[in-house]
Chain A
Amino acid sequence: MTWFTSPADATARLGAAGYLADEATATTAFLAGALEKPLLVEGPAGVGKTELAKSVARAAGADLVRLQCYEGLDEARALYEWNYSKQLLRIQAARAGEVDTGADGSAWQRTHDDIFTEEFLLTRPLLTAISREEPTVLLIDEVDKTDVEVEGLLLEVLSDFQVTIPELGTVTATRRPFVVLTSNAARELSEALKRRCLYLHLDYPDAEREREIVTAQVPELDDAVARQLVETVVRLRGLELKKAPSIAESIDWARTLVALEIKELDQAAITATLGAVLKHATDQARAVRELRLRA
Chain B
Amino acid sequence: MTDAGTADEAGDGSSPDGAPGRSGLVDRHIAFVEALRSAGLPVSLAEGLDAVGALTHLEWTDRSVVRAGYAATLVKKSSQRPTFDALFDLFFPRLVGEGSTTLDPDAEDPAAGRATDTARDGAEALEAFRDQLQEQLVGAAGEGDPADGGEGASEETLRRLAAEAVGRFGAMPGRTPGQTAFSAYQALRRVAPAELTGRVVDGLLAAGDSDAMEPGMRAYAERRAARGIGAFTRMVEDDARRRIAERKSPEHVADVAVRPAIDRVAFTSARRDDLEEMRRQIAPLARRLATRLAKQRATNGRGPLDFRRTVRASMSTGGVPITTRHRPKRPHRTDLVVLCDVSGSVAHFAQFTLLLTYALREHFGRLRAFTFVDRTTEVTAVLRPGRDPVEVMEELAASIQHAAMTGRTSYGSAFRTFREQYADALGPASSLLVLGDARSNYSDLALDDLRAMTNGIRGAWWLNPEHPRHWDTGDSAASRYAAVVPMVECRNLAQLGEFVQKVL
A associates with B: yes
Which A residues have a C-beta under 8 Å from some C-beta of B?
6-7, 22-24, 27-28, 30-32, 34-35, 37, 40, 42-43, 147, 185-188, 191, 194-195, 197-201, 203-209, 234-235, 237-240, 242, 282-283, 285-286, 289-292
- 11 examples of A-B residue contacts, CB within 8 angstroms: A7-B58, A35-B57, A185-B288, A186-B287, A194-B76, A206-B145, A206-B150, A209-B150, A235-B220, A282-B386, A285-B388
Other contacts beyond A290-B216, A291-B216: 9, CB < 8 A: A34-B57, A186-B287, A186-B288, A191-B76, A206-B150, A209-B150, A240-B280, A289-B216, A292-B217
Is B216 within 8 A of A199, CB to CB? no
Residues of A within 8 A of B280 (CB): 240
Q: Is the interface of B mostly helix, strand, loop or mixed?
A: helix
How far does the Cβ of B391 sit from chain A's closest Cβ, in whole Å? 8
Check B216 against A292 for contact (C-beta < 8 Å). yes
CA A151 – CA B420 in complex, angstroms? Answer: 53
A22 to B149, CA, bound (A): 11
Contact between B148 and A203, CB atoms less than 8 A apart: yes
**Cβ–Cβ < 8 Å partners of B68 in chain A:** 7, 23-24, 27-28
Stretch at the interface among B39-47, B95-103, B265-273, B368-376: B39-47
**Do B72 and A198 have beta carbons less than 8 Å apart?**
yes
Bitwise, B288-331 to A at CB < 8 A (1) or not (0) is 10011001000000000000000000000000000000000000
For B50, B64, B76, B216, the residue with the greatest tally of chain A CB atoms inside 10 Å of its CB is B76
Which residues does chain A contribute within 8 Å of B50, judged by CB atoms? 35, 37, 198
Contact present for A201 and B81 (CB under 8 Å)? yes
Most B C-beta atoms less than 10 A away, residue of A35, A43, A207:
A35
Assess the B291–A286 pair: CB atoms within 8 A: no
Across the interface, which residues of B come within 8 angstroms of A242, CB to CB? 283, 389
- Which residues of A lie under 8 Å from residue B64 when comparing CB positions? 23-24
A27 with B65, Cβ < 8 A, contacts A187-B288, A194-B76 known? yes
Is A199 within 8 A of B69, CB to CB? no
Complex CA–CA separation, A289 to B388 (angstroms): 12
Question: What residues on B are CB-neighbors of A207 within 8 Å?
Answer: 143-145, 149
Q: Which residues of B contact A (CB under 8 A)?
A: 42, 44, 46-47, 50, 53-54, 57-59, 64-65, 67-69, 71-73, 75-76, 78, 81, 143-145, 148-152, 214, 216-217, 219-220, 223-224, 279-280, 283-284, 287-288, 291-292, 295, 386-390
CB neighbours (8 Å) of A208 from chain B are 144, 152
What is the count of residue pairs linking A and B with beta-carbon distances less than 8 angstroms?
119
A134 to B220, CA, bound (A): 53
Select from chain B the residue with minimum beta-carbon distance to A210. B144
* A28-B150 in contact given A23-B65, A238-B145, A286-B388 (Cβ < 8 Å): no
Nearest-CB residue, chain A, relative to B288: A187
> B223, B279, B283: which contacts A238 (Cβ < 8 A)?
B223
Complex contacts, B224 vs chain A, CB 8 Å: 238
- With A and B bound together, what is the CA distance between A32 and B72 in angstroms? 9
Which of B44, B68, B152, B283: most chain A Cβ within 10 A?
B68
Bound-complex Cα distance A97 to B44 (A): 60
Residue from the list B46, B69, B150 in contact with A22, Cβ < 8 A: B150
Bound-state Cα–Cα, A24 to B150, Å: 10
Residue contact B59 to A6, C-beta cutoff 8 Å: yes
Smallest CB separation, A133 vs chain B (Å): 25
Q: Which residue of B lies closest to A238 (CB)?
A: B223
Q: Which residue of B lies closest to A235 (CB)?
A: B220
| CB nearest neighbor in B for A285 | B388
In the assembly, what is the distance between CA of A7 and CA of B399, in Å?
54
* Contact among A188, A197, A239 with B288 in the assembled complex (CB-CB below 8 Å): A188
* Cα A177 to Cα B44 with chains together (Å): 25
**Which partner residue on chain A sits nearest B227 by CB separation?**
A238
A199 touches B288 (CB 8 A): no
Interface contact B44-A195, CB-CB below 8 Å: yes
Q: Give the complex CA separation of A32 and B58 in angstroms.
A: 12
For B217, give the chain A residue with the smallest CB separation. Answer: A292
Look across to chain B and name the residue whose beta carbon is closest to the beta carbon of A42. B78
Judging by beta carbons under 8 Å apart, are A204 and B148 in contact? yes
Residues of chain A within 8 A of B388, CB atoms compared? 282-283, 285-286
* Residue in contact with B72 in the complex, picked from A31, A240, A285, CB distance below 8 Å: A31
B223 contacts across to A, CB distance below 8 A: 238
Top 9 A-B pairs ranked by shortest CB distance? Answer: A206-B149, A27-B68, A207-B144, A194-B76, A24-B68, A201-B78, A28-B72, A198-B72, A282-B388
A203–B386 CA distance with the chains assembled, in angstroms: 26
Question: With A and B bound together, what is the CA distance between A204 and B145 in angstroms?
Answer: 11
